[in-house]
Structure formats: structure tokens, C-alpha cells
Amino acid sequence: MANYWNQEIECMSREDMKKLQDERLVAQVKHVYENVEYYRNLMDEKGIKPEDIQSIDDIHKLPFLTKADLRDAYPYGLLAKPLSECVRIQSTSGTTGKRVVAFYTQNDIELWENCCARAIVAAGGTKDDVCQVAYGYGLFTGGPGLNGGSHKVGCLTLPMSSGNTERQIGFMRDLGSTIICCTPSYAAYIGETLHEMGLTPDDISLKAGIFGAEPWTEEMRKSIEKSLGIKAYDIYGLTETSGPGVSFECCEQTGMHINEDHFYPEIINPDTGEVLPEGEVGELVFTSLTKEAFPLLRYRTRDLCVLSRKKCSCGRTLIKMRKPMGRSDDMLIIRGVNVFPSQIETVLIEQGYSPNYLIEVDRVNNTDTLDISVEMNPEQFSDKMKVMQEQEKALALAIKTMLGINPKVHLVSPKSITRSEGKAVRVVDRRKLHD
Ligand code: ADP
Ligand code: ZN
């Protein structure tokens, strides 16, 4: 059984969706050209006028925007509406550098919350649910976005924000929360705490979780589903395009449907900017078709991803994106080999370790070093040095098989790696400090 928040849009025929996107793009380009000097200059430099954009097929003519442009234009340079018409400011988490700010009109908030409502309904949410929002509130978009979506659906909303994990579990039990929204790393921590409190999934009423804001693996999904007794759904977004809700998972759990009536996706070759065909891995680029205050055209997310138009069993026709593999700038190049932290996470969980780990990269005598500290579960711990060394060797070998390079693995005692209540920091690249 599939439920939709906006069936007309979510199940629209391709032709109708294309028509809607054509109209919206033409109007949006005009709006941006007339109101955003920064982007007008980029278009003028390329010799592109709004009249050159007649349909979505012309989108490739438009210049890209990058995070560097956002920093250049900070704070008001990309604003397309007078401040008097804006009602909200949110900001990125600053995971990869200086924060950027985004502005919203009342309509922008509406469309964002509607996108989050689609995600909640796709995860089985109805007005009878109790939705605990444990993403951070404040400038970060996670809390406010899901909070708004939850209100729209009519769920009884618990604006918990992140942190104070035992209290989260206390309220979850007292108030019978059925849906939880937070980062996947925080969900794993909540699951762990639940078990430490001597409780099991039978002691709570959760049925679904909506997790995003950071990369996570299929193995992590399975582990969270088990520890909380739920179905775990992915949700994706970024502050620059609104926040969470740009795309969301349905019951099929094979990638996220993009709300392409608002956010037009492209995949490009990150080196050449060339648009790649469906099915190829590349950098995800979004054009906001409807936002008024902060309408970014062809914004390069740096997230590496694949798009798919394969028919989905849920009935939605919205294009799907695969779980992002991480950002192009998350990719580590170690001894010439490309390494994604998510590959390491996959091996750790497959080998029965917890998702609590820290990857440290350095350069010693001109050679890159890769050290991975991995936390043991209490039952994996042994006071025999030899046993521990053998476990470390076995894990190092499994990682070497996956990556092609030899790491140094350090098994560390239970609870010694800091838990994350928001976006987890799992990589320390000390080479950058020497440069
Ligand atoms: P920052 O870029 O400072 O982290 P945001 O809070 O806006 O700021 O985070 C957006 C980024 O978070 C995305 O570009 C993406 O890299 C990551 N992200 C969000 N949702 C997901 C998800 N479901 N899977 C993987 N990565 C995600
Ligand atoms: Zn689907």
C-alpha cells in the first residue's frame, strides 16, 4: 500500500513533469537574471540571455554555481527578493569550511515543508503518528525542516532536538513515539543507549526512522533497523537547496525519489562539467525551479551520485538518486588509491564491529599512512594480547581486500570513541595540516 502526500505530482507522467519543469525553468531564469546581479554577470560572461532558455533541454547552457560562489557572494549577493519579503535564514553545518547562509520567503518555507511532508508520508507517516524530531534545531536545517513537515502531515510532533539521549528514550517511551528523525550516526547511538538501559525494541513503539544529513551505508541501515526495531528511510538535502527533503526514500528502499518538480537534478563529470547520461556516477547538480529568495541555478553539490529512472514499485514516477557515496572532497587519496570512508564502514559492520571508528591519514617520510581505530563490543574484547593482535590482523586484511591498500588497525576499548549527536566526524586527514 502506498500513500502519497501529493499524488498528482509524485505520480505525474513524464510528459507532464517535463512540461512543468520547462515552464518553471523559463520563469526562474528570468527571475534570477532580473534580480541577482551576481548570476546575471555569470550569464553575461557566457553570452547567455534568459530568452536562450526555452525549456529544460537548454539548461546545460547556464553557468554553474559552486560553494566558492556562495562564499564570494556571502551574505546577500545571491538574494533574489527584498529582505522585507524574507522570513527565515538557515545556515549550512560548515562541515567543509566557512558556513553559507540561505534565505526563505513564506512560500519557500511552504515548499520546503511540503517536500519534508512527502518524505514522512513515504515512510508511512500519518496524522496518527507521534514524530520525534531529534535533528538539531537552530540554524541547521534538519530540525526545522522535519518539524515543519511533521506539522503538515498532522503528526503529533516532539521537537526534541539532538542530545540528552536518555531523555530522548524516556520521552519516546512515555509519549509513544512512532517515528524518529535524526542523523544515522545519532540513531545508532540511540539504539546503543537503549540496549545499555536494559531495554529492547519491544519497550518502544517506533516503527520508522527518517535519517539523513550525512552519508551512511546499507550495513549501517541494517544495524539501526535491528537495534531500534524499525524500518530506516534515507532523506537527503542541503541548505543551499532548502534543507532535507530534496529527495526521500519510499518503501522500496532502493534510492531516493527527487522532488524534481522543485529541484531539477543533473549528473556531471566533476572535472569537465560535461553532463553525464543516466546511470553514470558523477557530481550531483541541482537547479531550484521554484524557490523565490535563494534560487540557485545549476548548483554543484560536490556529492557523488547516480540517477535512475527505473520504474519504482511504490508508484512514484519521480526520478531516483542512489545513496550519495560521499562528497567529492570526502574522497581520500591514499598512496594514489581513491578511498571513501563508506567503504571502510561497510567492511567494519560486515565483520561484526560497531559503526564507531576513526580514520586517521598522515604522511610519514613521504608515504601516506592509514590508521583506523575501531571500537570493540564488550564481547569482542579480550585480555590476551595475542588474540587481539590476530583480530586486528584479520580486520586489516578484510579492509585491504576492499581498498587495495594496507591499513593499520587498532582495536580500542568499548566506548572510547566519541559518539555523535549530529553529523559524525570520522576522518582526520593530518596531511592537510602539513601543507
Ligand atoms: P554542510 O555542507 O556544511 O554539511 P548541510 O548541513 O547543508 O551543510 O549538509 C548538506 C550535505 O550533507 C549534503 O551536500 C551531503 O553531502 C550531506 N547529506 C545530506 N543528506 C545526506 C544523505 N542522506 N546521505 C548522504 N549525504 C547526505
Ligand atoms: Zn518508490
What's the CATH number where 347 sits?
Answer: 3.30.300.30
Asked if residue 90 has pLDDT above 70, the reply is yes
Which amino acid is located at 120 in the chain? I
**DSSP state, residue 52:** G
Q: How far is the CA of 55 from the centre of ligand 2 (A)?
A: 27
192 vs 327, more confident? 192
Q: What is the pLDDT of residues 197-240, one digit of tens each?
A: 999 999 999 999 999 999 999 999 999 999 999 999 999 999 99
Give the residue from 326, 319, 328 showing the smallest Cα distance to 256. Answer: 319
Indicate whether 233 and 294 sit together in one domain: yes
Q: What is the pLDDT of residues 118-172, one digit of tens each?
A: 999 999 999 999 999 999 999 999 999 999 999 999 999 999 999 999 999 999 9
Q: How many CB atoms lie within 10 A of CB 29?
A: 27
In the chain, what percentage of residues exceed pLDDT 90?
90
Q: What is the CATH number of the domain that holds 87?
A: 3.40.50.12780
Domain boundary among 324, 359, 394: 324
Task: Please report which ligand is nearest the Cα atom of 210.
Answer: 1
Indicate whether 266 and 385 sit together in one domain: no
Instruction: Give the separation between CA 257 and CA 259, rounded to whole angstroms.
Output: 6
What's the mean per-residue pLDDT of the chain?
Answer: 95
pLDDT at 435: 53
**Residue 374 belongs to what domain range?**
332-434
Instruction: Give the separation between CA 131 and CA 126, rounded to whole angstroms.
Output: 10
Say if residues 212 and 188 touch (Cβ distance below 8 Å). no
Indicate whether 2 and 47 sit together in one domain: yes
- Mean pLDDT of all residues in 290-308: 97
Say if residues 103 and 204 touch (Cβ distance below 8 Å). no
pLDDT at 330: 79
Task: Please report which ligand is nearest the Cα atom of 143.
Answer: 1
Q: How far is the CA of 15 from the centre of ligand 1 (A)?
A: 31
Indicate whether 264 and 345 sit together in one domain: no
Q: How far is the CA of 10 from the centre of ligand 2 (A)?
A: 9
Which amino acid is located at 8 in the chain? E
Residues with C-beta less than 6 Å from any ligand 1 atom: 92-96, 212-215, 234-239, 301, 303, 323-324, 327
Kindly report which listed range (30-44, 226-240, 309-323, 379-393) carries the lowest average pLDDT score. Answer: 379-393
Instruction: Give the separation between CA 207 and CA 126, rounded to whole angstroms.
Output: 12
- Mean pLDDT of all residues in 405-423: 94
pLDDT at 57: 98
**DSSP state, residue 354:** -
Query: Which grid cell is 171?
Result: 520521552
Instruction: Give the separation between CA 292 and CA 314, rounded to whole angstroms.
Output: 31
Instruction: Write the CA distances from 80 to 14, 21, 40, 164, integer angstroms.
Output: 30, 20, 11, 39
- Mean pLDDT of all residues in 43-49: 98
pLDDT at 150: 98
First to last CA, the chain: 55
315 vs 328, more confident? 315
Spell out the residues 6+ positions from residue 302 whose beta carbon is closer than 8 angstroms to its own.
67, 96, 270, 283, 327, 328, 329
Q: How far is the CA of 2 from the centre of ligand 2 (A)?
A: 9
Indicate whether 387 and 261 sit together in one domain: no
Indicate whether 194 and 341 sit together in one domain: no
Indicate whether 261 and 368 sit together in one domain: no
Say if residues 423 and 185 touch (Cβ distance below 8 Å). yes
| Residue 305 backbone dihedrals phi, psi, to 5 degrees | -160, 170
- Number of domains within the chain: 2
Indicate whether 279 and 421 sit together in one domain: no
pLDDT at 96: 67
Nearest-CA residue for ligand 1 atom 27 is: 214
Asked if residue 93 has pLDDT above 80, the reply is no
Domain boundary among 324, 343, 370: 324
Domain boundary among 275, 290, 324: 324
Instruction: Write the CA distances from 184 to 150, 297, 311, 350, 354, integer angstroms.
Output: 19, 29, 27, 17, 13
